């Protein structure tokens, strides 16, 4: 396997994965419509790896242009990151989310099928587990009962992929359910670059640290957790990226349909993350306690045994390093990639 097509490769997780794929010797081709990213990321990637990224501005909803990539290159496997991911926005604009994420994926599969390319790695999310009865979460936990349209798109795409693989065993599909990616490449050249007010915890903390926002709102301190604040499984984005390189081996083994959690197996509360950020970077993060955020769950962390045994993959970086690298990117890029 040589040529890997990465959809959404300009985004946060995609860009880190492109770096690790190039380092592992793969020839990477990226398509992205840049709706939530910036072309400048490819200059940064080239600085890190010394390899130019072949990229094309293509929307997954544009079948003609999407098809042209498969005419131009002999693709061996597609890693499919492209999608809209803002939970709150998905509640306000459900049609746009269903259309972009589901129609986009259906277009991709149709064109892959036409070209007899049947190897796919898909970015799913811990959100498909809803509010788990117990933790840690294993891959056979029930899914569905999502709390927003974004989550439903992940659940529905998983179902579509399962049905397609069942109907045609030539398909090899790895579904990766990410927990909470944070951190950045240690060079500080690439990282998370959210538009507007960040929804997620770590980009909010780094914007408080750099002075863009006065304080962090902690959404709820009355959950049944060790300090009352929400507990999540934060994973370094480089570890996550390396999980995709390992998943390619599984595709090469022609393993059919496989599903893996990618997390660390450890849960940290909001206040744990704040504390670790302060210690790692020597910066105080002012915060105040606010009411719970609608749709949030108390606790979510993964069991990582399956990925360890079957992929030979395990997260290496701890919470301090995640906090250091998130801050390193933010302070070197106060205005993102501009």
With vertex at residue 137, the alpha carbon angle to CA 258 and CA 19, rounded to the nearest 5 degrees, is 55
d(CA 245, CA 290) in angstroms, rounded, equals 40
Beta carbon nearer to ligand UFG, 66 or 233: 233
Query: Beta strand 54-57 with 77-80: parallel, antiparallel or unpaired?
Result: unpaired
With vertex at residue 176, the alpha carbon angle to CA 41 and CA 245, rounded to the nearest 5 degrees, is 60
Told to check if 60 binds ligand NAD by CB under 6 A, we report yes
Beta carbon nearer to ligand NAD, 34 or 73: 34
Chain position whose Cβ is nearest to ligand NAD: 11
Q: Provide DSSP, 201-263.
A: HHHHHHHHHTTSSS-EEEE-S-SSSSSSS-EE-EEEHHHHHHHHHHHHHHHHTT--EEEEEES
Q: How many CA atoms lie within 13 A of 234 on its CB side?
A: 26
Beta carbon nearer to ligand NAD, 157 or 258: 157
> Which option in ligand UFG, ligand NAD, none does residue 165 bind, with CB closer than 5 to 8 A by kind?
none
Among 104, 149, 191, 298, binds ligand NAD (CB under 6 A): 104
Contact in structure between 40 and 10 (CB atoms under 8 Å): no
> Which option in ligand UFG, ligand NAD, none does residue 313 bind, with CB closer than 5 to 8 A by kind?
none
Q: Output b/e per residue, 81-116; b: 16+ Cβ within 10 A.
A: bbbbbbbebbeeeeeebbebbbebbebbbebbeeee
Beta carbon nearer to ligand NAD, 223 or 234: 234
Beta carbon nearer to ligand NAD, 144 or 286: 144
Q: Exactly one of 97, 150, 178, 260 is catalytic; name it.
A: 150
> Which option in ligand UFG, ligand NAD, none does residue 270 bind, with CB closer than 5 to 8 A by kind?
ligand UFG
Query: How far apart are CB 39 and ligand UFG at their closest, in Å?
Result: 24
Active site residue 150: yes
Chain position whose Cβ is nearest to ligand UFG: 230
Choices 133-141, 173-181, 222-230, 299-307; region in contact with ligand NAD by CB under 6 A? 173-181
Longest Cα separation, the chain: 55
Annotated active-site positions, please?
Answer: 150
Q: Which residues bind ligand NAD (CB under 6 A)?
A: 8, 10-14, 32-37, 59-61, 81-85, 100, 104, 123, 125, 178, 180-181
């Amino acid at each position: 396997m040589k040529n890997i097509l990465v959809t959404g490769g300009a985004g946060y997780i995609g860009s880190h994965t492109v770096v690790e794929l190039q380092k592992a010797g793969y020839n990477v081709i990226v398509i992205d419509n840049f709706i939530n990213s910036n072309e400048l990321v490819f200059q940064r990637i080239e600085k890190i790896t010394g390899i130019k990224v072949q990229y094309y501005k293509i929307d997954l909803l544009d079948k003609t242009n999407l098809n042209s990539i498969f005419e131009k290159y002999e693709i061996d496997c597609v890693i499919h990151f492209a999608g809209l991911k803002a939970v709150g926005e998905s509640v306000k604009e459900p049609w746009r989310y269903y259309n972009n994420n589901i129609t986009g994926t259906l277009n991709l599969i149709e064109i892959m099928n036409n070209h007899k390319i049947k190897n796919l790695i898909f970015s799913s999310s811990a959100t498909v587990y809803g509010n788990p009865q117990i933790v840690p979460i294993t891959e056979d936990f029930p899914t569905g009962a999502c709390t927003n349209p974004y989550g439903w798109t992940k659940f529905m795409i998983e179902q579509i992929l399962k049905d397609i693989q069942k109907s045609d065993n030539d398909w090899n599909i790895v579904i990766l359910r990410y927990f909470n990616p944070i951190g950045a490449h240690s060079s500080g050249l690439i990282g998370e670059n959210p538009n507007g007010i960040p929804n997620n915890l770590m980009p909010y903390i780094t914007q408080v640290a750099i002075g863009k926002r006065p304080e962090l709102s902690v959404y709820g301190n009355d959950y049944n957790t060790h300090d009352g604040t929400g507990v999540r499984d934060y994973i370094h984005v480089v570890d996550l990226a390396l999980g995709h390189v390992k998943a390619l081996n599984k595709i090469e083994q022609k393993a059919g349909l496989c599903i893996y959690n990618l997390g660390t197996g450890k849960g940290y509360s909001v206040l744990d993350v704040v504390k670790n950020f302060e210690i790692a970077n020597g910066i105080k993060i002012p915060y105040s306690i606010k009411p719970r955020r609608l749709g949030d769950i108390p606790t979510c962390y993964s069991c990582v045994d399956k990925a360890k045994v079957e992929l030979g993959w395990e997260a290496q970086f701890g919470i301090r390093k995640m906090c250091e690298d998130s801050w390193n990117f933010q302070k070197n890029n106060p205005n993102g990639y501009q």
